[in-house]
Each structure stands twice: as structure tokens, then as C-alpha cells.
A and B are shown apart, each in its own frame.
Chain A
Amino acid sequence: MSVHTLPLPKAGCAEPDIIRERGQHEVFCGLTGIVWLHRKIQDAFFLVVGSRTCAHLLQSAAGVMIFAEPRFGTAVMEERDLAGMADANEELDKVVARLLDRRPDIKMLFLVGSCPSEVIKLDLSRAAERLSRHYSPEVRVLNYTGSGIETTFTEGEDRCLAALVPELPDATSEAPELLVVGALADVVEDQFARLFAEIGIERVRFLPPRNSRELPAVGPNTRFLLAQPFLGETARCLTERGARHIPAPFPLGAEGTTAWLGAAARAFGADPMAFRHATAAAEARAKRALQPFRDEMAGKTIFFMPDSQLEVPLARMLSRELGMEPIEVGTPYLHRAHLAEELKLLGSDVQLSEGQDVERQLDRVRASRPDVTVCGLGLANPLEADGLTTKWSIELIFTPIQGYDQASDLAGLFARPFDRKTRLRV
């Protein structure tokens, strides 16, 4: 087990004792991000260059989406593609030509790297440049990696958005602009847009946009707010373009949403009265909606197995707003700077873990017998069969949970397994 210490964060919050493990990771790779990204950017197509395994994973993760002519596919490499590099590029060009010929509605094409394409060193960034030259201006071709050797689950979105950053036009106006970064459900995005308008922040754009032709501009006047905790690379690229990050906790729960909106309001010098006016009623409504869940969940212990990097913000929301007690909060990667505000709120006595040795972690789960274990679908039923209650984690990515009006839906996701346990008499 290799333990390397990271430099202490400047925020000055206590350095908690973190379990760092390596071993078998029971997690998805970054390709899974395609499942929600292709619904978000409506004229983009995601072409994975990979193996049958990659196609099989997407099929398993996308469930019934596969049957709706989805805007993703896999160029499955065959034995002859592995023989020589030039050949693989020609094959890829043929697949792309066929695809774009059939799908004239596609305006942006992502070539998505996978473990096999990276191990054979197929240079997809050069392929993307070549194909972009060929198909511009109709279609822009970009590239990022979603491979398991590089990315865990939601990091696929991070790499995708980071690949979009160089494509963003330069901001021309002098006025400051707010950029909200991270794919959110449309309903949540619309709520936030309304709230920002009421707070008095006039110029707000979202990344990713719903359409590849509507890329938000970026420049030194851009302040950006992360809507998701797993966007380290995207934030770095935006900073390189001169944009400045607004540190904030993430918009989960009533408190988290207010703090997140508040960070933006302060950064834009919004009128505090306007801010209260815009948020007070919605915040009170969210707290009212959370109350019955608090009665039910207070004092219950919760164990997070690593999955999406949402674990720390979720643990903060569940402990502070529902009174739950985190036993261990596992995350695939702990971004100290982006989580600084969250860690302050979570408190330093919570056991964090980064990375995973799934067998050892399961030993800890069985030893501590938490009231609820948040884990992936490969582990949920086996733990239930052992008499534990689980909440499967992927639902936390596929369900709208951010913002005031989704706070009770978020609490409901954790309460439902208990509700079910109390109903069943067999």
C-alpha cells in the first residue's frame, strides 16, 4: 500500500487522518459519463474507440437508452486494427465518415479514448485534429479520454468538459460573467438560472451547453462556480483561460444551495437584501420538506463506498441537514481545494478514505454494520443479502438532486430503503 502525503491545503482546516488504499476498485470507468453527457449536449455524438468490453459496459450502464438511437457508439477494434498504427487511423476515418454520413444532425463529435486505445498508443488527439480539418465548419471533432486507467466514473465528464474549454470563444464584454460548470438536469439548470436572475447576476451561462453551437464565452472577466465536485481538470483549463474560481460548497440540500448561491452573490457584489429576497422562501420550503426525513434519519449511521466524488458533499448534507452519522466517507479522489468549503462543514472527526481496496473496505463495512451503505450495483444485492441496507450510488448521478426543490428528493433517495424495510413482512 503506497502512502504519499499531499501538501497541506492552505485553507487551514484540520488535516484528517485519511485511509489511502489501492487494490481492486469496484467502480465504473469514465466512459460511463457518456450516458448522461449525450443527453445534455443535444447535437453531440460520442464515439468510443475501444473494445467489445467498452461497448458492453456502455450497454450495461445505459440500460434502455440504447434503444432510442442514442448519440453514442463504439468503434470496436478488431485484431487487424491492432497490427499497425496507420491502418487503425484509416479504419477510424472510415467509421467516422460512415457515421457522419448517416447522422447529419451531429455537429460535434467526441472521439473518446479507452484503455485499449491508450495502451496501443492510438493518438486520438491527432485523429481529432485531422478529422476536424476535414469536416469543419459543419462538424467539430474533439477528443478526451474516458479510459479506466485514467479516469473513474464522473471524471469522464471532467475530461469531456476540459476538452471543450479550448473551443470556447473569447469573452469580449467588460462586464463580469458567471459560468456554472457541470452537467445538471435541465430542470435544475432552469431553477438556478431563475435564482441567479433574481439575485441580480445578469450574465449567467452553463457548461456544458445544451447545444454545441451555443458555447459560452470565457475570459478574464469570467468567474466560475462548480456545480459538481469532480471537475478538477476543467477548472484548471478554465483558470488557464483567465477565468477565476468561486470557492463554495456544492448545491446539495437547503444549506448547501444557499451557501453555493451566496458565494456567487458575494463574488458579484449582489445586494444582500436581493439575495435574501430571492432565496429565503425557497430555502424555507426546502427545510420544511426535509423535516419529515430528518425525524426518520437522525442518528442513523452511513458508510460511503467510493464512486463519484459526490460522497463528501453528500455526507455533509446528510449529517448537517438530516442528522445522519457518517462512519466512513470513501471517494475515488479527494480534490482538497475544491472540497475545502465542504470539509470545513463536515468536521474533522469524520473518517475519509481515498481510493479503494474493495475487500478490505467490505471488511470495515461488515465490522461497523452501518444503517445504510452507499455502494455500486455490483455490491448492493450481496450486502442486502448479508442483512445490510444499501443505497445504490449511480442513482445519485442520474437523479436531479441539486438545488432547493430537489433537496427532499435527495433525502428521499436515502429514506426509501428504510421505508421499504419497514413495510416488508416476508
Chain B
Amino acid sequence: MQLTVWTYEGPPHVGAMRVATAMTDVHYVLHAPQGDTYADLLFTMIERREKRPPVTYTTFKARDLGSDTAALFKSTLESAHERFKPAAMLVGASCTGELIQDDPAGLAKAANLPCPVIPLELPSYQRKENWGAGETFYQIVRHLAALEEDQPVAEKPQGRAPRCNILGATALGFRHRDDVMEITKLLKENGIEVSVVAPLGASAADIARLPDADFNVLLYPEIGEQAARWLKRTHGQDYTTTVPIGVGATREFVAEVRRLAGLDALPDRSDAGRLPWFSRSVDSTYLTGKRVFVFGDATHAVAAARVATEEFGFELVGLGTYSREQARAVREAAAAHGLTALITDDYLDVEQAIAEAEPELVLGTQMERHIAKRLGIGCAVISAPVHVQDYPARYSPQMGFEGANVLWDSWVHPLVMGLEEHLLGMFREDFEFSDTAKPSHLGPGERVSEAPAAEPALRPLAEEGPIRIWSADAEAELKKIPFFVRGKARKNTERFAAERGLAEITLETLYDAKAHFAR
């Protein structure tokens, strides 16, 4: 048993719901007790969907157990088919349904419905949401895009424009709506048609058309990779391996799709949105070497680490993911930055790692937003799980060149503006630039001096070393250092004093340490 307060991912059947809800004419019958319908509100509230997810729950209760839950499943399946008349159905069990072992697959077969019924085996006690979404999409593709016997693979007719599918976007995906639009536009600019986007917006018939395309664009490996591999094996379609987040990755992605489409390589284009110029403009100089901690799903975390270092000029001080299935990619990326990846789904581990790394900016999920708030650090969201404000009304992709513009604005915003940072150093004793004033771009108001001490955490943070005694004037001098580097200065000075066996930290010690650690 694992003690859990916050979970980065839901159970695997929620992943299956994300795929079913993304599609247009598929219905999911879920063997589940009363109460599991809570997941509906993720779609209707957080993503603000105008329709209920296409999911029917058997809603078994205690009195049904030991009697005929199997009959209940069968009658629920039949009446759902009768009412919704879907083109295909998914059947499976939630975590409790799995325990009562009713075999939805066999029961669905016996019901002999006049549409394809796809059974889902989603082990709730080993796997999680993204895996469930990936497995569900794979099963749908495998069932609906299978080769008819003796059907030759269609040759691409002469002169037809190259065609691809876009794989992996789902309901409740972080910015999936706008990423698909942005990448579709980018492909079109390169003379490549998009045949099918799936699962997002696809019908069962669209899934059957997947093999007609020349290759696949895989946007979200967590969800689409298994299906992409099967399509490669079965239908000989290659798929892209670059996730186009950031300017550099987008350029590489364009080169990759042109190669897969059989088009000539483009000369190096400077047309890459505004990020490159914004990043070179002098106001951005202050971003150089800013310490950033990155955590999220594997795809977004690895992409953000690259963008943060190569395109913003930040220093990466932490990289991690909750996606255990993709841990290897994150470990490799972290190693390239001389870091050890943090692979965990326990937010307390993440909180501890952030506190120890002392970053100036955190890029993470909804949970890191709260951790950063507690630690008084700026934060931007780069990955699910996210809350309602990260399903925005305005166009806000993460991918492509417009996505890079969006990243620029949203990552720089939480930092103190360059000029303001300069003024804080210059007039640090001025009452209007004092620590207690909030950064001006965050509106009027007082800065919360100390994060309010919450109730003790379930686990204490790292053991503090021996606290050195600070002389009054050294303590006063420390207060003159801008708040966003003060913690680091305090720690460095104490470490410096400890290494030299000094009992007290004086003004001299403070400046000796500053010289020693000069950044």
C-alpha cells in the first residue's frame, strides 16, 4: 500500500474515458460501482465539454454482489447500444469491477451486438491513466484498422500530395486542441495533407482509414506510441520521433516530416516565430543562468528541459517525471545535463527535490504550482495534470512556432521583469522596492513574507545542517540581498562557514563567501 494524498495520474479506466470522449461515435460501457461517475466532471467541468462523456456505468451496489452482476453488465451494454447506437463499443471494468471478475469481453461477445465491441484489459492495480489511454487507443486501432485478408497495401498514386495522420491527442489533454491545429497548419505549409487526427475528433470509420496515409505524426508518445508501432508493423507506416515543442525541436520535426513525406529538405529558415528574437533582445539578458526545475509527464519535461536551456538560456537544476513508463528518456535527458532524473509519483519527493535545488523558476504541473507557491518561487505549467485555467479559451498551443511564442510569454511572466530585477538590486533599501512589495507585474499588494507554515508535512524536508550563528550586522546585510537569491546566499554563507569551522557568521564571512562563490 502506498500512502497517497495527491496523484499525478488517475486510474487506467480514466485514460480509456479520455480516448472514448475524444472520439465521435464510440461508447464505453464500464463495469463500475456507484460513485465512479465522478470522472464525468473532469470532462464537463475542467475541460468544459458541452456533452457528457460517452460512458455508461453499470453502477452495481452491495446488494448486487454475489447475485448477478454479470447479467447487470449485459443488460447495461444492450440498453446503452440501443440508446446511443454507436459505431463501436468499448467494454471494460474499473478497479472494483476488475475484482469481481465478470469478464466483460466474454459477456459482450455473448450479447452479439451488431457493431464491433472492443474489450479493454486495464490492470488498475499496476497501471495508470496515460497507460490506459495508450492501451485503449491501441486496441481501437488494432480492431478497426486491421488488414482485410489478401488486401494489398494500396500504392500511393502518382502526383497525390503526401498524407499523414496525427496520433495521440485526447480529451483532457494538456493543450491538445491547439497543438493539433498548429501542427496541422505547419504540415499544410509544407505541402503535407492531414488524413486523420485520432483519437481527438475521430470516428470509428476514420480509424479504419488510418492505413491510407503515407506516415504518422506522433504528437504524444505516452498515448499514441503503441498504436503507431502497430501501424508501422502492420501497414508499413513510419512515424515521427521528434515532439515539436520549442523552436529547435519544431525545425527538426519539419525536417523529419519532409523526409518521411519524400520532400526535399528545406534550407535553414529563419522564419521561426518570435521566440529567437525575444530571447536575444537585451531585456532577456537577465534570464541567463536562471535556475530552473522541470517536472511533468516525460514528453513535456524532456522538451521543456531543452527549450529552457537552449532557447531561454536558463540553467537546468532538476528534471523529473511521474511517467514511469517513459523514465528512460528522462534519465538520458537528465544525464546530458549532468543531473540525475527524479522518477517519482510522490509529490513529497518532488517538493523535497525542489526545496533542495533552490530554483528561481519551476516548470511543472498543477501540483508544482502549489509547491512553488508554498516555497515562494515563480512557476509556469508545462504538463498535465492541470486545472481549469489551463484549458484556456484563447489559442495557446505548446507545439510549433506559435507554441514557442506561448512558451516564451508564459515562462517569463512569473519571473521578475529584467529591469525590475535590476532596480531591486540598485534600490534595495527603497521602501517601494523592498521585499515586502509584490513584483509590479503581479499587481498591487504585499508580498507574503514567509510562506504560512502549513500543518506539518507527512514527511519532513531534508535535515538541515547545523545552524550557524549570524551576527546582527551580517543578518541585516543579508536582508539587503534581493529576496530571490537570499536563500541561496544564506545557505552558501553557512556552508562556507561550516567548511572553515567558523562559529559565528560576521559581515566579513558574508562577503568572503560571496567572493568564494562568485557566480
Interface positions of A (Cβ within 8 A of B): 22-32, 49, 51-53, 55-57, 59-61, 64, 66-79, 81-82, 88, 91-92, 94-95, 98-99, 102-105, 115-116, 118-120, 147-150, 152, 359, 376-382, 384-385
Q: Are A73 and B3 in contact (CB under 8 A)?
A: yes
Q: Are A377 and B44 in contact (CB under 8 A)?
A: yes
Given contact pairs A75-B1, A116-B95, a sample of 14 additional A-B residue pairs in the complex whose CB atoms are under 8 Å apart? A24-B57, A52-B95, A53-B36, A53-B124, A60-B38, A60-B41, A66-B5, A69-B454, A78-B125, A92-B1, A94-B1, A152-B34, A377-B45, A380-B44
The answer for the CA separation of A318 and B440 in the assembled complex, in Å, is 48
Interface membership of B37, Cβ < 8 A? yes
C-beta contact mask, B438-466 vs A, less than 8 Å → 1, else 0?
Answer: 00000000000000001111111000000
Q: Are B96 and A116 in contact (CB under 8 A)?
A: yes
The answer for the CA separation of A197 and B44 in the assembled complex, in Å, is 46
B255 to chain A, nearest CB (A): 40
The answer for the CA separation of A75 and B1 in the assembled complex, in Å, is 6
- Residues on B with C-beta less than 8 A from A81 are 1, 125
Nearest B residue to A23, CB-CB: B59
A196 to chain B, nearest CB (A): 32
Contacts A/B (CB < 8 Å), 11 sampled: A28-B38, A31-B35, A52-B7, A53-B13, A73-B3, A81-B1, A94-B1, A105-B456, A149-B34, A149-B60, A382-B51
Interface membership of B430, Cβ < 8 A? no
A58 to chain B, nearest CB (A): 8
B376 to chain A, nearest CB (A): 15
B155 to chain A, nearest CB (A): 45
B32 to chain A, nearest CB (A): 8
Interface membership of B48, Cβ < 8 A? yes
Question: Which of chain B's residues 1-28 have a Cβ closer than 8 Å to chain A?
Answer: 1-7, 9-11, 13-14
A59, A70, A77, most chain B CB atoms within 10 A: A59
- Residues on B with C-beta less than 8 A from A150 are 61-62
Q: Are B456 and A69 in contact (CB under 8 A)?
A: yes
Interface membership of B279, Cβ < 8 A? no
Nearest A residue to B62, CB-CB: A149
Q: Are B42 and A27 in contact (CB under 8 A)?
A: no
The answer for the CA separation of A126 and B511 in the assembled complex, in Å, is 62
Q: Are A102 and B458 in contact (CB under 8 A)?
A: yes
B7 to chain A, nearest CB (A): 5
Given the interface pairs A102-B458, A102-B459, the reply to whether A57 lies near B35 with Cβ below 8 Å is yes
- Residues on B with C-beta less than 8 A from A149 are 33-34, 60-62, 64-65, 96
Q: Which 6 A-B pairs have the closest CB atoms?
A: A29-B35, A148-B35, A378-B40, A385-B50, A115-B96, A51-B95
The answer for the CA separation of A81 and B2 in the assembled complex, in Å, is 10
B38, B44, B65, most chain A CB atoms within 10 A: B38
Q: Are B6 and A82 in contact (CB under 8 A)?
A: no
The answer for the CA separation of A238 and B5 in the assembled complex, in Å, is 33
Q: Are B456 and A102 in contact (CB under 8 A)?
A: yes
The answer for the CA separation of A56 and B95 in the assembled complex, in Å, is 12
Q: Are B5 and A79 in contact (CB under 8 A)?
A: no
Q: Are B96 and A67 in contact (CB under 8 A)?
A: no
Contact of B1 among A29, A56, A77 (CB under 8 A): A77
C-beta contact mask, B43-80 vs A, less than 8 Å → 1, else 0?
Answer: 01100111110001111111011000000000010010
Nearest B residue to A49, CB-CB: B1
The answer for the CA separation of A59 and B4 in the assembled complex, in Å, is 10
Q: Are B38 and A103 in contact (CB under 8 A)?
A: no
Interface membership of B128, Cβ < 8 A? yes
Interface membership of B405, Cβ < 8 A? no
Interface membership of B112, Cβ < 8 A? no
The answer for the CA separation of A205 and B458 in the assembled complex, in Å, is 33
Q: Are A119 and B99 in contact (CB under 8 A)?
A: yes
B5, B13, B64, B374, most chain A CB atoms within 10 A: B5
Nearest A residue to B388, CB-CB: A63
Question: Which of chain B's residues 92-114 have a Cβ closer than 8 Å to chain A?
Answer: 94-96, 99-100
Interface membership of B370, Cβ < 8 A? yes
Contact of A382 among B2, B11, B52 (CB under 8 A): B52
- Residues on A with C-beta less than 8 A from B40 are 26, 377-379
Interface size of B as a range: 35 or more
Nearest B residue to A376, CB-CB: B41
Q: Are B34 and A95 in contact (CB under 8 A)?
A: no
Interface membership of B270, Cβ < 8 A? no
Q: Are B56 and A24 in contact (CB under 8 A)?
A: yes
B74 to chain A, nearest CB (A): 14
Interface membership of B126, Cβ < 8 A? yes
- Residues on B with C-beta less than 8 A from A32 are 38
Interface membership of B83, Cβ < 8 A? yes
- Residues on B with C-beta less than 8 A from A55 are 4-5, 7
Q: Are B33 and A102 in contact (CB under 8 A)?
A: no
Q: Are B99 and A116 in contact (CB under 8 A)?
A: yes
Nearest A residue to B101, CB-CB: A119
B238 to chain A, nearest CB (A): 35
Q: Are B49 and A381 in contact (CB under 8 A)?
A: yes
Given the interface pairs A116-B96, A119-B96, the reply to whether A73 lies near B4 with Cβ below 8 Å is yes
- Residues on B with C-beta less than 8 A from A61 are 38
Contact of A56 among B14, B44, B58, B367 (CB under 8 A): B14
Q: Are B459 and A379 in contact (CB under 8 A)?
A: no
Given the interface pairs A53-B95, A70-B5, the reply to whether A77 lies near B125 with Cβ below 8 Å is yes
- Residues on B with C-beta less than 8 A from A73 are 3-5, 458
The answer for the CA separation of A94 and B2 in the assembled complex, in Å, is 10
Q: Are A379 and B42 in contact (CB under 8 A)?
A: no
The answer for the CA separation of A34 and B49 in the assembled complex, in Å, is 28
The answer for the CA separation of A254 and B7 in the assembled complex, in Å, is 43
Nearest A residue to B125, CB-CB: A79
- Residues on A with C-beta less than 8 A from B61 are 148-150
A378 to chain B, nearest CB (A): 3
Nearest A residue to B57, CB-CB: A24
Question: Which of chain B's residues 341-390 have a Cβ closer than 8 Å to chain A?
Answer: 367, 370, 374
A49, A66, A92, A99, most chain B CB atoms within 10 A: A66
B35, B45, B370, B454, most chain A CB atoms within 10 A: B35
- Residues on A with C-beta less than 8 A from B35 are 27-31, 57, 115, 147-148, 152
Q: Are B42 and A103 in contact (CB under 8 A)?
A: no
- Residues on A with C-beta less than 8 A from B79 are 23, 359
Given the interface pairs A59-B6, A148-B33, the reply to whether A24 lies near B41 with Cβ below 8 Å is no
B126 to chain A, nearest CB (A): 5
- Residues on B with C-beta less than 8 A from A105 are 455-456
Q: Are B370 and A67 in contact (CB under 8 A)?
A: yes
Q: Are B457 and A102 in contact (CB under 8 A)?
A: yes
The answer for the CA separation of A118 and B96 in the assembled complex, in Å, is 9
Given the interface pairs A24-B37, A59-B6, A73-B4, the reply to whether A51 lies near B457 with Cβ below 8 Å is no
Contact of B10 among A53, A377, A384 (CB under 8 A): A53
The answer for the CA separation of A91 and B125 in the assembled complex, in Å, is 15
Q: Are A74 and B4 in contact (CB under 8 A)?
A: yes
- Residues on A with C-beta less than 8 A from B36 are 29, 53, 57, 148
Question: Which of chain B's residues 286-328 have a Cβ closer than 8 Å to chain A?
Answer: none
Q: Are B124 and A51 in contact (CB under 8 A)?
A: yes
The answer for the CA separation of A79 and B33 in the assembled complex, in Å, is 20
The answer for the CA separation of A391 and B127 in the assembled complex, in Å, is 36
- Residues on B with C-beta less than 8 A from A74 are 3-5
Q: Are B454 and A27 in contact (CB under 8 A)?
A: no
The answer for the CA separation of A380 and B43 in the assembled complex, in Å, is 11
The answer for the CA separation of A382 and B36 in the assembled complex, in Å, is 18
Q: Are B11 and A53 in contact (CB under 8 A)?
A: yes
The answer for the CA separation of A231 and B225 in the assembled complex, in Å, is 50
Q: Are A378 and B59 in contact (CB under 8 A)?
A: no
Contact of B44 among A69, A119, A381 (CB under 8 A): A381
The answer for the CA separation of A71 and B56 in the assembled complex, in Å, is 33
B146 to chain A, nearest CB (A): 31
B505 to chain A, nearest CB (A): 32
- Residues on B with C-beta less than 8 A from A75 are 1-4
Q: Are B34 and A68 in contact (CB under 8 A)?
A: no
Q: Are A52 and B65 in contact (CB under 8 A)?
A: no
- Residues on B with C-beta less than 8 A from A385 are 50-51
